[in-house]
A and B are shown apart, each in its own frame.
With several copies, the nearest count.
Chain A
């Protein structure tokens, strides 16, 4: 069965390594912070200028001057630092953030990503996403495998305006974990109970499937 949001977040968290500095986008990526594997320590970077994002505040801790990039109230973890937007993006663009996890409208088999506008319909703006995909050492996209009409979001070539080119390393969807390399999606894992055939049918871009595809552990 397709994973729910919490399950996708859990699978994302399995990608975290001890000592990683990680930037988590709004939505599912942010949920992954709740599932950091036991025995490892990671630091979360929020691009509005906070390294070492802590838990959400209690009512007493709420402070309008303490927010994350999603404009949510947060706290600072022990060992946190707070700085300007220029410093924050120097960090991101200079390749100092180990991992970025973000959502997308579309990803293609060249590792391109589209996530910030649908011409004529919706303009969110790119915020920090273009900087993150250009700068982080490792980039994971989380999204549903297909849109609500059943159309694949894993394409041969993105149709929407791009956020970045040749930058996505890994995709974690409600159906599968895939690697992007050499101009193709490589199926690594499938959601428990989801067949390879379903994944094949919902992947528009070139997909490489090995003889056996293990189920995700979530």
Chain B
């Protein structure tokens, strides 16, 4: 009855099968809700030529920024570069290929990838550099551009609590891109704070059903804060 026990006990097992030149979809927004241990494992493995799909690329010295430092990333698909000096520098130098994608389009591309929708139309980016080379089409008199979906060889996802089936919930705004990433990986790996018994999570309150999840590992998280602003700082 091992069919639904997706728990693995080492990061090596969690990322087994990752090879050079693969595409990885990563959850997280800034440093919030990022699979810290899985990223560290990719650094350890030294895999190169990676395409990474993630809203941001961590910061210098933390999160996906670690993989930039090691030049393991060939291409980033992201919406935001700001506040990440190495990212901006590698981009301006042409060392790193970057496909800047509007944040909502990026989220929708991941969702579509997971949902079997190869392409959709959106008004976002029409008339801007984002629309270059893309089909423009009018619906009800308004122009939209066609965007294609994204899937990855791996999806790396950070959740709060999960059971052995891979059912999970996210904590507060650490949800962000994680649910969509979870649906869009050929192999989806969940790094969680806490493993719970099946049945502990209320069925109607599960954010990501286990069907999308292949492996679950319990991690340790530093949870670095990018901008600590206090009510008294105003």
Contacts and interface: CB of A to CB of B under 8 A. Distances in A.
B126 A58 contact: no
A162 interface: yes
Nearest to A76: B203
Contact of B123 (A34, A93, A163): A93
A89 interface: yes
B115 interface: yes
Given A84-B175, A123-B81, A59 B230 contact: yes
Contacts of A94: 113-116, 183
Interface string A77-104: 0111111111111111111110000000
Given A84-B180, A87-B209, 20 more contacts: A43-B211, A64-B224, A67-B226, A71-B30, A71-B31, A71-B83, A72-B226, A80-B203, A84-B178, A89-B104, A89-B108, A89-B115, A94-B183, A123-B92, A126-B80, A126-B130, A130-B125, A131-B102, A131-B105, A131-B124
B179 A86 contact: yes
A47 B103 contact: yes
A130 B130 contact: yes
Given A81-B203, A125-B80, A73 B4 contact: no
A88 B178 CA distance: 13
B22 interface: no
A41 B163 CA distance: 16
Contacts of A74: 229
Interface of B: 1-4, 29-33, 55, 78-83, 88, 91-92, 100, 102-108, 110-111, 113-117, 122-130, 160, 163-165, 167, 171-180, 183, 198-199, 203-204, 206-207, 209-212, 223-234
8 contacts: A73-B228, A81-B209, A85-B55, A89-B104, A90-B115, A112-B127, A126-B79, A128-B103
Contacts of A85: 29, 55, 103-104, 106-107, 176-177, 180
A110 B165 CA distance: 36
Nearest to A41: B3
Given A66-B173, A91-B211, A134 B122 contact: yes
Interface stretch (A14-22, A168-176, A188-196, A203-211): A14-22
A57 to B, nearest CB: 6
A86 B27 CA distance: 12
Contact of A82 (B108, B173, B229): B173
Nearest to A34: B234
A22 to B, nearest CB: 11
